[in-house]
Structure 1
Amino acid sequence: MPSSSSDGGLRAPGGRWLSRTSAEAAAQRFGGPLVLLHRATLVNSLAARLPPGTVRTAAAATLADPGDADRPARVRTPDGELVADLVVAADGIHSAVRARLFPEHPGPVFSGFTTWRVVVPVPGVAFASHETWGRGCLWGTHPLKDGRVYAYAAAVAPAGERAPDERAELLRRFGDWHDPIPAVIAATRPEDVLRHDVHHLATPLPAFHRGRVALLGDAAHPMPPTLGQGGNQAIEDAVVLAHHTDALAAYTAARLPRTTAITRQAVRAARFSMATGRARTAARDTAIAALSRAVPGLLLRGFASIADWRPPRPPYASGRTTAGNR
């Protein structure tokens, strides 16, 4: 079975380690272990704590009126119109609610690369969790607690480009990289592969709310996945929003600067990790290896400003609570 340890690091396609990370060091630095959790597992765990029938997926809904201080918001559904004191719009990267609230905003831009994701069992293959950087592309392999492997890949590619068989495309691009990458591809069926182009907001929104509507997650701040923060920042949004449901300006004030900074950091990380020139790639790898030897724990230090976030402090009353970093 894959190793359950979160020791690992950054590698080159031939297998050379450029930088190593330690699970123990991460736990000491951040006060607890880093946990890799499949998003469906988290969603199912949260949904299981709600009353039956609370969650309805694939139910069509449109924002009819965002409301204001003097009137509630209205949401139109096939079953009739709903009136709400608060509407939370978490409708993704291409959010229709965001476009409704801020029609003059340019919206997401293509980040310049595409991604593939798979979650598959790979029996009998042991490995250390890793990310591997090549020229204009990368691969990551990480064990999940249930014995499956979460693997992802990214490559510079034109927007909208697709292959007839995405598993074959992974084999073409990454099949000669170091173990366990060939084994993961071999264990993957074509239908297991998800491929999506990456988009982000190059221009931040003026606010994460309007009227009685609050934007959350990718609807508010889509970002490249290079820091693994898409889902995490949505959770932070939800925690902060729960403290400011009747003072949405405070929610915007707490979340907009942080998510804007993380989005920009993720864009810079994408450009760095997927450099395309041969000389630039070689210089990048040499610099990472040298700095990692000179400054142990370099990768953890770069993550500190993200992982050090703390939720709002008591008394949890909207307008009297501040959210900040520590």
Structure 2
Amino acid sequence: MSGTTSSRSAVVVGAGIGGLTAALALSRTGWQVTVLERAPELGEVGAGLSIWPRAWRILTDLGVADRLVDGTRPAIQAGLRRPDGRWLAKVRADAAAHTPVMVHRARLHEALVGALAARDGVEVRTGVTVSGLADLDGIDPGGPADLVVAADGIRSRIRNELHQREDVRHAGYTAYRGVTAQPVPGEASSTGGETWGTGVRFGYVPLVDGRTYWFATANRPAGETGGDHHADVTALVGHWHEPIPQLLAATPPSAVIRGDICDLRLPLKRFDHGRVVLLGDAAHATTPNLGQGACAAIEDAAVLAAQLAGHARIESALVAYDRIRRPATQRLVRASRLVGVLGQLQNGAAVTARDAALACVGAVAGLLAR
């Protein structure tokens, strides 16, 4: 049975990728939506993200995809390498239908904001801090919202209030991220993928705007955020195979950001709590090793809107959303955590065994593809 949504109101806490996608998806099914963002202005950090086919279809249905890509995407040779440049595994360059669209995070954010601005019944308020559910009293003069979507990130205060605990876990390594100031010619524009060393990884991929997004990870304790990030990365991987030194040289030092890699320590027992629901990193923050964090939030939003449109009772819709999304996202968290463990190995013998296994798997995959 389909519920009537024309008189329903929702408050979305957090104007990140997940929160904005949820607001857009809900508004398209008749909800009145208020988005609350604690930052004084809307915006995103300077890093790239991957949008895999399932999430891309959702963005297409929401009218966002056309705002992101101009023209066709060139095929690139991607895969996994060692620091000396030897390929351990390759992905076929003509497999574009099964590979992600790489965009700058800020570009996706701007596209979502633009799509929301074109809709009636959506209000975005910045500079609003939500420390708990009690802060939502009086947000709407018409009375309490019918639905609260907690999309307030990995350190979600609403999640902590509902579960009475702090679930954030440091993965044991930190990440440096950068985007070149302009397109980089040569190998950097036609290849991508990751290079795995000993306790250090580097990955890069061309963005749809022609620039290149890259990241590096290194085993570090939590909280070490000072220093010259560009110099740190150069010391770690500046001597690795091309085009890594070229990419670092093409990135302004001020454009390099650093942050500890974290996920949720324990899987939550539920994402729904009456008429409050957790979405995105607030529900299932994952390490970025599979490039699926933003996609998972986008998929959350689509499933949430679909279930609310298909159930007369909001609580029943949220139970269905939890039943669909919680198992899938928790598998993602575990798989990404495992990839991080393998990628950050520091024992020399273990690294040698890992690389041999990856090369074997890559060879078998190549034979199957041919």
TM-score normalised by the chain length of structure 2 = 0.71
Aligned partners of 2:103 and 2:209 also within 8 Å: no
Alpha-carbon distance in 2 for matches of 1:60, 1:168: 35
The equivalent position to 1:260 in structure 2, one of 325, 330, 337, is 330
Aligned-pair distance for 1:261?
0.8
In the TM superposition, what whole-angstrom CA distance separates every residue of 1:235-286 from its partner, at most 9, and x where no partner exists?
1100111022322111111111111111000011100111111111111111
Larger helix proportion of the pair: 2
Letter aligned with residue 123 of structure 2: T
1:68 is matched with none
Aligned partners of 1:107 and 1:201 also within 8 Å: yes
Q: Secondary structure at the match of 1:54?
A: strand
Aligned partners of 1:61 and 1:78 also within 8 Å: no
1:277 is the counterpart of 2:343:
no
Equivalent residues in 2 for 1:145-224 (5 A)?
A: 145-224=208-287
2:161 is matched with 100
Aligned-pair distance for 1:290?
1.8
Letter aligned with residue 114 of structure 1: T
1:7 is matched with 77
1:89 is matched with 150
TM-score normalised by the chain length of structure 1 = 0.81
Letter aligned with residue 260 of structure 2: D
Give the ranges of 4+ consecutive aligned residues of structure 1 lying more than 6 Å apart after TM superposition: 77-82
1:240 is matched with 303
The equivalent position to 2:128 in structure 1, one of 34, 47, 59, is 59
Letter aligned with residue 293 of structure 2: G
Aligned-pair distance for 1:25?
3.5
Aligned partners of 1:61 and 1:76 also within 8 Å: no
Aligned partners of 1:122 and 1:183 also within 8 Å: no
The equivalent position to 1:141 in structure 2, one of 204, 209, 229, is 204
Aligned-pair distance for 1:49?
1.6
Letter aligned with residue 47 of structure 1: V
Q: CA RMSD in A?
A: 2.4
1:294 is the counterpart of 2:355:
no
Aligned partners of 1:10 and 1:17 also within 8 Å: yes
Give aligned pairs, total: 284
Letter aligned with residue 64 of structure 1: L
The structure-2 alpha-carbon separation of the partners of 1:230 and 1:81, relative to structure 1 and needing over 3 Å to count, comes to farther
Aligned-pair distance for 1:83?
2.0
